[in-house]
Chains A and B, each alone.
Chain A
């Protein structure tokens, strides 16, 4: 079960959502999910699973074939403009005019939401400063680096202060330092009450940021639960052990499977029910002088692959 957060009306409720294209391809086969207000939610799935189609329907870039979508209780069929006001969207592809200035891109978006010019300028300054783009405000979009373009799209999505922010692979192609900075920004935003839905290929990102998760495969939800619950169900974890001395030639570690990574490093598998204390005891008996121990990234990735394999 997904971890619940406060609030009665879901930030997003999807019921039996279907999408079939003209060529007969069924991208969504009746998915249902609910995202609580204030949640940090991950939507995962391999390429072509239906993530972007789902997001496209929520923000009106894709027409649904059947089903219902409600944003903060507003049914998109009943009043899509009202529902759209709740949503901020950061798409996967850059979708702004590269010849417009950064400041204009953000303030124009505010105008499309009906924000007066003065308020639009104030908000644009706030978010461009927070995202480190204020110095670039008079530069055209095409002059920005890839990471800056992504941050510009986040600033643009936030300018009308949406209650629900949807990010479609926001850190794709962004370097590690900038990705960490973006994570911090998103965590702060979430802590201030914005519900965030994130699709990502970096499962480490979902594990680090999100509380709940839905995994889509072949247009169906194959898992919808909390990240904690998902990880709890992992049957085994792999730990990397660094030894102070070269590993003994003849090495036997009681009760554990292991693999030599190099002459001073071991990868050791710990089954559900086994304890780390047992690992240290066994390593001590085997004559391995442990310097450090860490779990191999990425636990979620293993679970993800397992789930997809099961679904296939």
Chain B
């Protein structure tokens, strides 16, 4: 395939992915808006007003970046895991496997779909948050880089999960038992300074801590960890996830007999 043909193949996969999540928007776009509104009302307005400041900001200002990141992580992940596993389950993935579309184009197509859903949900959640607080952007570049890298990383993670999954249970186990606890313990609702030093140290093994803090730095200008280190971790994990996804596609693991 020449570059033009590869671009057409990429656009075809991406268009298909976007149409899929737009078609079922009550399942893909609406829940995040409702859930985050509830978080803003309960944790931000009701409970948050009694907590006072955290990290030098009102509790509402403090949690908003973490909640936006939480929406990006879950949506990027779930878009790719459900779409690619669905294609595997109904065998329509064979349409791609028999075609001359290179594996990296297939991967980029699915992952870009996840990234776009993540960014769209981030926009929705950010808009909702503006009804509850004023958002100041400390560093626009850090915000954009953080959002794109995070959605890319978790879209790739969703792809890996989908490749290994054999049933619909398998695509909900990781989000429920791994992703959600890591998000909740990743400093979305609290600063690591509140933890005893041992648990603060343990928390730094959680990759979500770097995701949340990199974004929080971009918005508020404060973070519990070094922003440079957080981006290095994010970048490293993304490269590793991409390389592993390519390995899975090239070797045909769980896709070819």
Contacts and interface: CB of A to CB of B under 8 A. Distances in A.
B99 interface: yes
Contact of A108 (B2, B6, B16, B102): B16
A94 B90 CA distance: 8
A61 to B, nearest CB: 6
B92 A112 contact: no
Contacts of A15: none
B95 interface: yes
B87 A84 contact: no
The contact size tier of chain B is 20 to 34
Given A81-B102, A95-B91, A95-B94, A111 B257 contact: no
A156 B90 CA distance: 16
A97 interface: yes
Interface string B81-103: 00000110011101111111110
Contact of B94 (A21, A61, A84, A87): A61
A108 B13 CA distance: 8
Interface in A172-189: none
A12 to B, nearest CB: 15
A84 B100 contact: yes
B99 A113 contact: yes
B134 interface: no
A108 B12 contact: yes
A111 B96 CA distance: 10
Contacts of A109: 95, 99
A111 B92 contact: no
Nearest to A93: B91
A97 B9 contact: no
Nearest to A87: B98
Contacts of A60: 97-98, 256
A134 interface: no
Interface size class of A (residues with CB under 8 A): 20 to 34
B181 interface: no
A116 B8 contact: yes
Given A56-B257, A81-B1, A108-B16, A114 B98 contact: no
A61 B90 contact: no
B8 A111 contact: yes
Contacts of A98: 90
B95 A95 contact: yes
A82 B1 CA distance: 7
A97 B99 contact: no
A85 B100 contact: yes
Contacts of A93: 91
A96 interface: yes
Counting chain B CB atoms within 10 Å of each CB, which of A60, A89, A115 scores highest?
Answer: A60
B5 interface: yes
Contacts of A63: 252, 256-257
A96 B92 contact: yes
Given A56-B257, A63-B252, A81-B1, A95 B90 contact: yes
Contacts, number: 81
B87 A113 contact: no
Given A111-B12, A114-B1, A114-B8, A84 B95 contact: no
B11 to A, nearest CB: 7
A111 B97 contact: no
A53 B257 CA distance: 9
Nearest to B105: A112
B4 interface: yes
A89 B11 contact: no
A70 to B, nearest CB: 16
Interface string A69-85: 00000000000111011
B99 A112 contact: yes
Nearest to B95: A109
Nearest to A98: B90
A152 to B, nearest CB: 12
Given A60-B256, A112-B12, A114-B4, A81 B100 contact: yes
B203 to A, nearest CB: 41
30 contacts: A56-B257, A60-B98, A63-B252, A81-B1, A81-B100, A84-B99, A87-B98, A91-B94, A95-B90, A95-B91, A95-B92, A96-B92, A97-B87, A98-B90, A108-B16, A109-B99, A111-B11, A111-B13, A112-B13, A112-B95, A112-B96, A112-B101, A113-B100, A114-B2, A114-B4, A114-B101, A115-B8, A116-B8, A117-B8, A156-B95
Return the 10 tightest CB-CB contacts between A and B, nearest first: A114-B5, A111-B12, A81-B100, A112-B99, A95-B91, A97-B92, A84-B100, A62-B257, A59-B98, A95-B94
Given A111-B9, A111-B12, 11 more contacts: A53-B257, A56-B257, A59-B98, A60-B256, A95-B95, A111-B11, A112-B9, A112-B13, A113-B100, A114-B9, A116-B8
